[in-house]
Chains A and B, each alone.
Chain A
Amino acid sequence: MDDALALVSSGWQPFAGGTDLMVLYEAGKLTETRFAGLWKLEELRGIRVSEEHIELGALTTYTQIRQSALLADEFPLLCRAAAETGGIATQNRGTLGGNIANASPAADSCPPLLVYDAELELMSGAGIRRVPYAGFHTGYKKMLLEPGELIRSIRLPRNNKKGWHQVFRKVGTRRAQAISKVCLAAAARLVGGRVEQIRIAYGSVAPYPLRCTRTEAALLGADPRKLPPLPDETSPIDDLRSTAGYRRRVAGNLLRDFLESLG
């Protein structure tokens, strides 16, 4: 582990499951081709459970997430996202830490992390620090990872959304083995027919996975059958998979479907 951190601090590219980096490397699109292989580092593996947290090692694969009964029970949206990312072969190699560090706006596992108030544990030669995942991504492919730092684990506060209505919907270019055009992870708790608490997060509608805090605020106390006007916090783009107009409209529709399901 120390060796890996030393290499990373001298500029080497961290390399985990390779499902993204290998494609870029083969296409000659990487500027840094000295790789610090992380795959065999035990410290970054495993699902650790305490009373307050479930801590997922950064190298936890989508398959491991899918297979965890505990995650299915407490963090179902994360399991759904893992099941809808790539095919089986990709799920066997793709890692949660890699999905975050790759910083794609279309990363399917990130909206659920926003819903569940995930925290990241970052480590470097200087030690370990914790940051909330919300706010970690700051722009297209930009994040609060200092040079020489690695994601060590993803911490999920336990039981924080139990009993909430939860939904994950991915709209891809096809049903499986697809990259998202839009995806929504959302959760809400109603008291007396009114929204008491709510989380709304999207993939693929902004330069990074987006939590819609202003929309959440507008919905607090609202009756889901009589919705207040909602702000549009998305800033989608046109690309090969879809258009900005489609993304904006579908993002709104997915949220509307979710809110209707609460009513």
Chain B
Amino acid sequence: MSEVMHCLLVNGREHLVRAWPMERLLDVLRLQLGLTGVKEGCGEGECGACSVILDGQLVNSCLIPVLQAYGCAIRTIEGLALDDALNAIQQAFVDEGGAQCGICTPGMILAAVNLLDRNPEPDEGEIREGLAGNLCRCTGYSRIVESVMRAAKREGRSPRHQTGEEHETQTRGEMLRLARAPQEGNR
């Protein structure tokens, strides 16, 4: 196996990456594309902090060799808000206290997006089951469940929840974020 150039489709935009086939998708997203909203909590598929949506399905990017992601549409937390407008779930997490320390938040929100895609009106039990692969140590989950319920209630099924196909137009905000690859400095 050797390092090869490949095209990776992330948040509706194609990127050339140079990677070993067995490199973790997590590392390629974070280190090469600067998408540091994808977090590493355990490195073994337990905590869900590295969740991304791959061809419409929630996956742990720490368990995906990048080779398996070529040709797939990948969505990360950075691809959720349109310009300044937060996605309904993101907004609900802000309003309802669904985010505390924030480290599980990107993965948790993507899991919620994916859940509402499959089931637009989940009850509490379905939310708790649907998010059970995403661990949060701060909230005890109650505020998160509230956030998802509020988002489901408020928005119904908005076009921005659609994650099955990712070929939406690239936004200016996203370009700015991508241009800002990992760099020196603070927040």
Contacts and interface: CB of A to CB of B under 8 A. Distances in A.
Interface in A163-178: 175-177
18 contacts: A23-B43, A23-B44, A23-B45, A26-B43, A35-B65, A37-B68, A63-B57, A86-B45, A86-B133, A87-B134, A88-B115, A88-B130, A88-B132, A89-B111, A90-B133, A93-B60, A176-B129, A176-B132
Given A63-B57, A90-B45, 10 more contacts: A15-B65, A18-B63, A18-B64, A19-B63, A22-B63, A87-B133, A89-B111, A90-B60, A93-B64, A177-B135
Contact of B45 (A15, A22, A27, A39): A22
B73 interface: no
A100 to B, nearest CB: 19
Contacts of B1: 34
A92 interface: yes
B103 interface: no
A177 B132 contact: yes
A88 B67 contact: no
A87 B132 contact: yes
Contacts of B22: 25, 33, 35
A88 B63 contact: no
A15 B21 CA distance: 12
A172 B182 CA distance: 40
Interface in B130-151: 130, 132-135
Interface string A19-59: 10011011100000111010110000000000000000000
Contacts, number: 74
Interface in B58-82: 58-60, 62-65, 67-68
A66 to B, nearest CB: 11
A26 B133 contact: no
Nearest to A26: B43
B24 interface: yes
B86 to A, nearest CB: 23
Contacts of A87: 48, 132-134
B16 to A, nearest CB: 21
Contacts of A33: 22
Interface in A81-117: 86-90, 92-93
A89 B68 contact: no
Contacts of A39: 68
Contacts of B111: 88-89
Nearest to B107: A89
B44 A93 contact: no
A15 B63 CA distance: 12
A27 B51 CA distance: 20
Contact of A93 (B63, B114, B132): B63
A56 to B, nearest CB: 18
A18 B24 CA distance: 11
Interface string B35-65: 0000000011110100100000111101111
A244 B45 CA distance: 27
Contacts of A90: 45, 60, 133
Contact of B44 (A26, A35, A40, A63): A26
Nearest to A35: B22
Interface string B148-172: 0000000000000000000000000
B133 A22 contact: no
Contacts of B133: 86-90, 176-177
A176 B133 CA distance: 8
A16 to B, nearest CB: 10
Q: Which 7 A-B pairs have the closest CB atoms?
A: A87-B133, A176-B132, A22-B63, A92-B57, A23-B44, A89-B60, A89-B58
Nearest to B44: A23
Nearest to B132: A176
A88 B68 contact: no
Contacts of B51: 89
Contacts of B59: 89, 92-93
A4 to B, nearest CB: 14
A93 B25 CA distance: 14
Contacts of B63: 18-19, 22-23, 93
